[in-house]
Amino acid sequence: MELRLKRHPLNPLLAPVPEHLWENKFVFNCAVVYDGELFHLLYRAQGVDMVSRIGYAVSTDGVRFNRFEKPVFSPAVSDELYGVEDPRITKIEDTYYMLYTAYSPKGPRVALSSTKNFITWKRYGVVIKDEINNKDAALFPEKINGKYVMLHRFEPDIWLAFSDDLVNWGNYVSIAGPRKGYWDNLKIGAGAPPIKTPYGWLLLYHGVEEAPRPIYRLGFMLLDLNNPTKVIKRSEEPILEPEEEWEIFGGVPNVVFSDAMVEYNGQYYVYYGAADNYIALATIEVEEVMKWCKS
């Protein structure tokens, strides 16, 4: 049984805004959470200086968003000299934690910030301090065996890290890597924060195929509830791949890349960046995914 996401007919949902110098080139790769009333969307944007900042938009239906005119999170320290990128949001108790890529001459590093209102933020800085490029980080929404758990990416694999306090991380372990002969044969990375199901942790991830211009697609993994280092199953075929013109041509061609999956009205809403130009939405029935999980 293979799964496929369905694109929303109003795609793309968000595009660059010509009169906003900070987001007039590209808008893409967003985090989304639903609080029971509103969808909160935090998205990466680039403007004339090509420095990545994070904008904010809200919606009552998950499709039609109202955007703030100015970014809500911008580079503030030397580790973010080139930008703050690709946010992923997880709610733990009453606080929203945002893992993001802090990009500087040192390369990409995993950094953490938190908020309760999406406007004011507490910064914790780079939290995986090894001098190695790292990104694609997402938090599990609860402790597992008494530890906080983070997905991250030492290329080309998806790794886990563990912590007692969300700030100091260690015990890194690789859980999955590229597959020779598959659509994800070059590198892989975590997408949205994992969702707990009766069958395991459902992880949306991106896989990259080696090509003259690498192709980014999306798939699912299912991780063991009590031992998330164990992969129970993984998409044989991609659930979404670049097909529309605006997904194939853009700032970075041949890309669908997601940081956000929200359960709403019996569906999973998957928000994705398209060719680093736009933000779009694709959906799938939760029941259909649960059949795949238990098959």
Count of Cβ atoms closer than 10 Å to residue 236 Cβ: 12
pLDDT for the residue 249: 96
Task: Give 207's DSSP letter.
Answer: E
- Asked if the model's pLDDT at residue 130 lies above 90, the reply is no
In terms of DSSP bridges, do strands 39-46 and 26-34 run parallel, antiparallel, or are they unpaired?
antiparallel
**What percentage of the chain carries pLDDT values higher than 90?**
98
- Asked if the model's pLDDT at residue 133 lies above 80, the reply is yes
Task: Give 79's DSSP letter.
Answer: G
> What is the reported pTM?
0.97
- Asked if the model's pLDDT at residue 98 lies above 90, the reply is yes
Chain center to CA of 15: 18
Element at 136 (helix H, strand E): strand 135-139
In the structure, what pLDDT confidence band is assigned to residue 182 with cuts at 50, 70 and 90?
very high
Structure confidence by residue, pLDDT tens digits, 217-245: 999 999 999 999 999 999 999 999 999 99
Mean pLDDT of the chain: 97
Asked if residue 73 lies in contact with residue 42, where contact means CB atoms within 8 angstroms, the answer is yes
The SS3 assignment for 80 reads helix
The angle subtended at Cα 34 by Cα 143 and Cα 87, nearest 5°, is 70
Q: What is the mean pLDDT of residues 69-87?
A: 97
Chain center to CA of 196: 16
The SS3 assignment for 293 reads helix
- Asked if the model's pLDDT at residue 5 lies above 80, the reply is yes
Rounded to an integer, what distance in angstroms lies between the CA atom of residue 4 and that of residue 129? 37
- Asked if the model's pLDDT at residue 41 lies above 80, the reply is yes
pLDDT for the residue 112: 98
- Asked if the model's pLDDT at residue 129 lies above 90, the reply is no
